[in-house]
Amino acid sequence: MEYAVNIQGLKKSFGSNEVLKEINLKLAKGDNIAIIGRSGTGKSVLTKCIVGLINPDEGEMEVLGKNINKLDYYGLTELRKRIGYLFQGGALYDSMSVRDNLEFPLRRTYLAKEDEELNQKIEDALRDVGLLDAMNKMPSELSGGMRKRIALARTIIMRPEIILYDEPTTGLDPVTSGEISELIVSIQEKFKTSSIIVTHDMKCVKITSNQLKLLEGGLFLTEGTYNELSKSDDPNLKAFFS
């Protein structure tokens, strides 16, 4: 089996605070893994290690066949072009229109050199998230759900092989949360992406994930499918399914 992410023995501390104690994680190509856990258990630290924003203290991390620990600045920059990151708040540039927000990463990475190619990529990405008519709007004119969709369009416009989702449905109503979750699945199917979804939204977990992991005390306590873990007697899990 090919793995998009293969992590063995990952440890990370901040001073005396052991955030990640012994993390082992294998994300198969084309799969979605959801990670749940209480706030402050290290879920975001783990995703930041995967993209090289935080250096682990110990452990091996292979991402898309590259050993993160051995990459120089250029190698890490090239690898990051293949990884999409959907921030919890969307992180759109408020001073830029929707079009400019999507154009920005393309111009920075030279993935679209001609205006015609650039226009086509922007239109395709907006069409994929169902917001082609929002191209000339400003972020302030968008609802929370629309901002999430535009942020997702900016992520997929780079055609990443891995997408890291940080609380993709936080702050959204149940209907919009469901729509965003379904969109994550459609992106997985269309672009064959491999994803890690950090969330507290169990409806999102049920819709999007092939596998579910519980992070607690710096360790993955248990893993399995949503249906398997929903039947568990583990009190740590029951708190999420109740």
- Spatial CA neighbour of 211 closest among 10, 29, 31: 31
Average pLDDT rounded to a whole number, residues 172-194: 92
Half-sphere exposure of 84 (CA within 13 A, CB side): 27
**Is residue 83 a contact partner of residue 47, using CB atoms and an 8 Å limit?**
no
Residue 89, Cβ neighbours under 10 Å: how many?
Answer: 13
Q: Each residue of 58-77: pLDDT tens digit? A: 999 999 999 988 889 899 88
pTM confidence score: 0.90
Rounded Cα distance, 29 and 193, in Å = 7
Range of the domain at 122: 96-159
Task: State residue 93's pLDDT score.
Answer: 87
Number of domains in the chain: 1
DSSP for 230-242, please give it: HT---HHHHHHH-
* pLDDT above 90 (res 145): no
* Mean residue pLDDT across the chain: 89
Percent of the chain at pLDDT > 90 equals: 50
Task: Select the more confidently predicted residue: 212 or 217.
Answer: 212
Q: For residue 153, is pLDDT > 60?
A: yes
CB–CB of 207/183 below 8 Å? no
Tens digit of each residue's pLDDT (9 = 90 or more) over 31-42: 999 999 887 788
Average pLDDT over residues 227-234: 86
Backbone angles phi, psi at 132, to 5 degrees: -60, -35
Tokens of 29: 């190509």
Q: What is the mean pLDDT of residues 172-185?
A: 91
- Res 113: pLDDT: 62
Look at residue 237 in the predicted model and tell me its pLDDT: 81
Give pLDDT tens digits for 88-127.
777 888 899 999 999 888 877 665 566 778 888 899 999 9
- CA pair distance 68, 20, nearest whole angstrom: 17
Q: Which residue has the tokens 């799969």?
A: 31
**In which band, very low, low, confident or very high, does the pLDDT at 238 lie, cut at 50, 70 and 90?**
confident
Query: Tokens 């959204």, residue?
Result: 172
Task: Name which of 167, 206, 176, 227 is nearest 47 in CA terms.
Answer: 167
Residue 119 lies in a domain: yes
Does a structural domain hold residue 218?
Answer: no
Classify residue 20: in a domain, yes or no. no
Q: Looking at the domain assignment, is residue 1 inside a domain?
A: no
Chain-centre distance for alpha carbon 133: 25
